[in-house]
A = this chain, B = another copy of it.
Amino acid sequence: MANTPAKKPSRIQQRNRKRILDAALEVFSRHGYRGATLDQIADEAGLSKPNILYYFDGKEDIHVSLLNQLMQTWLDPLDAMDPDGEPLSELLAYVHRKLEMSRDFPRESRLFANEILQGAPRMGPHLKSGLKPLFDKKTALIQRWIDAGKLAPVDPRHLVFSIWATTQHYADFDAQVRVLLNGEKSIPDSADSYLDTLFRKLLTP
């Protein structure tokens, strides 16, 4: 029913499904899949628990819907890397966009981190079908840039890993970063310039 909307969803459908997904993002990202409860999500969404089960087939369905919905958003910045652009600035722009996402969507970042940490039990297929092809395509692009002498020679796969790691660290390890930076906002402006320097020095031929 709610899972196979053959017809157009009503206004109430749209509004409530959105409310539920918003609430679920909040709860799942803070407590992980197992730590989140339907009651919490219902409470956060301002709906009753049975009502939530009216819109989704179950806890897992909500979680999967969230992951599916987010996957695209998450990959967009990488996808936006332009083969015809100037290699170094394309990559640095990607770093910047990725850091910006940690700033603007920390919950999404933690949701993914949680899922991957647990071994991606509900996302394995999506990784293979969604992320992998894009990863292969973009690492190949970077390799071409390197072969053309536009970038210093590095392993493109590790390059991408390190971009992800350094940018997402601020969102995923927020609790730690906050303690170590004396409670400042966890992504100070200095992070931007640091990462810019880090990757600029690495990649400049």
**Chain A: residues with CB nearer than 8 A to chain B?**
30-35, 110, 113-114, 116-120, 124, 127-128, 131-132, 135, 154-155, 157-159, 161-162, 164-166, 168-170, 172-177, 179-181, 190-191, 194-195, 197-198, 201-202
Q: Cα distance A168–B173 when bound, in Å?
A: 11
Number of copies of this kind of chain in the complex: 2
Contacts of A165 in B (CB 8 A): 162, 165-166, 168-169, 173
Contacts of A195 in B (CB 8 A): 158, 162
Q: Cα distance A113–B175 when bound, in Å?
A: 11
B180 touches A169 (CB 8 A): no
Interchain Cβ contacts under 8 Å between A and B, 9 examples: A30-B118, A32-B32, A32-B114, A116-B173, A116-B175, A118-B175, A127-B175, A155-B194, A165-B173
B162 touches A194 (CB 8 A): yes
Q: Cα distance A118–B191 when bound, in Å?
A: 23
B158 touches A194 (CB 8 A): yes
B30 touches A176 (CB 8 A): no
The verdict on A155 contacting B190 (CB below 8 Å), with A128-B179, A166-B162 known, is yes
* A38 CB, min distance to chain B CBs, angstroms: 14
